[in-house]
Amino acid sequence: MNSVQLPFVKMHGLGNDYVYLDGFAAAVPSDPPALARRISDRHRGVGGDGLILVEPSSVAAARMRMFNADGSESEMCGNGVRCVSHLVVSRGYAPAGPVRIETGRGVLDLVVEPTGRRSSRVRVDMGEPILDPARIPVNHPGERVVESPCSALPHAEAWWEAAGFDPRMTCVSMGNPHVVFWCRDVAAVPLGEFGPRIETDALFPARVNVHVVEVLDRGRVRMRTWERGSGITQACGTGASAVCVAGVLCGRTGELIRAELPGGELKLEWAGQGPVFMTGPAEEVFEGVWHED
């Protein structure tokens, strides 16, 4: 059997790295989930947090489809959509400036400012946050889940005191589900154990992205993320957007914050209503060809 050659671009936003296939230049694969599992493997594949397809769209400059490293498809990725918009502009499919990208969350408006041949700074209108528990989804009563008891944490754990951990949860969807926990020291949270347990708890019927957040001051936070289907990642754009929303709802931060993530910094804005705005970098790493048997 002859192998199929798939040209790809490896890109990242603050270290949140994906393999991108340009559907304008070549046909996309027939089984993206299976390809995502193979190509994302950091030992036997290209390596990355997942696979993103960039395809033509009838309603925007391009359509983005995102698959996590485990093959599951997600609705949106904030760092990923910045990279998609960079690819679209750098390959000449759309001019720099305002660009629209179709996602599982809907059509998003971005502004792309090239900062080099292989990099851009991008501002994204992330859309309005979803706070209705049924739509997030989270199995919890009421109209919002803001600093509410978390049934997935029935008992105090040994590390809570050292981390200054608050076991109450705040839940937000940015087109994909997020749960935010506040703490005094994010480094003291055993995220590799805590994250997957919360992600797969029955409280969250579609699983969930898990964030622990340390407030440095009203305009700055430090956060770590366990991403649904990918594990611990260097950055999460939709997660940082959810943290911005949670900070305003909980009265812990202002409406404009800088979020420090392991991979770098994002700027977030939310006025208490309307859309969240996120600004951050998109960078190419290398190009190659994947041979798919």
**Is 77 among the residues known to form the active site?**
yes
Contact criterion met (CB below 8 Å) for 131 and 172: yes
Within this chain, do residues 121 and 170 fall inside the same structural domain, yes or no? no
In a domain, 132, yes or no: no
Residues sharing a CB contact under 8 Å with residue 232, sequence separation 6 or more, in sequence order: 191, 192, 195, 224, 225, 226
Q: What is the CATH number of the domain that holds 219?
A: 3.10.310.10
What pLDDT does residue 293 have?
77
- 77, 83, 183, 244: the active-site residue: 77
Rounded to the nearest angstrom, the gap between the alpha carbon of residue 29 and the centroid of all alpha carbons in its chain is: 23
Question: What span, in angstroms and rounded, lies between the C-alpha atoms of 257 and 272?
Answer: 13
Within this chain, do residues 248 and 284 fall inside the same structural domain, yes or no? no
Within this chain, do residues 166 and 225 fall inside the same structural domain, yes or no? yes
In a domain, 139, yes or no: no
Within this chain, do residues 74 and 108 fall inside the same structural domain, yes or no? yes
What pLDDT does residue 210 have?
98
What pLDDT does residue 233 have?
95
Quickly list DSSP for 201-239: STT-TT--EEEEEEEEETTEEEEEEEETTTEEES--HHH
- 83, 171, 236, 244: the active-site residue: 236
List of the chain residues with pLDDT < 50: none
In a domain, 137, yes or no: no
**Is 183 among the residues known to form the active site?**
no
What pLDDT does residue 3 have?
79
In a domain, 36, yes or no: yes
Within this chain, do residues 288 and 231 fall inside the same structural domain, yes or no? no
What pLDDT does residue 198 have?
98
Within this chain, do residues 88 and 167 fall inside the same structural domain, yes or no? no
Cα-only R_g, the chain: 19
What pLDDT does residue 92 have?
97
Placement of tokens 């190419």 in the chain: 284
Domain count, the chain: 2
Within this chain, do residues 239 and 288 fall inside the same structural domain, yes or no? no
Question: What span, in angstroms and rounded, lies between the C-alpha atoms of 227 and 50?
Answer: 11
Within this chain, do residues 234 and 288 fall inside the same structural domain, yes or no? no
Within this chain, do residues 174 and 250 fall inside the same structural domain, yes or no? yes
Rounded to the nearest angstrom, the gap between the alpha carbon of residue 74 and the centroid of all alpha carbons in its chain is: 9
In a domain, 153, yes or no: no
DSSP assignment letter at 111 = E
Domain residues for the domain of 206 are 160-274
Question: What span, in angstroms and rounded, lies between the C-alpha atoms of 23 and 66?
Answer: 13
DSSP assignment letter at 186 = G
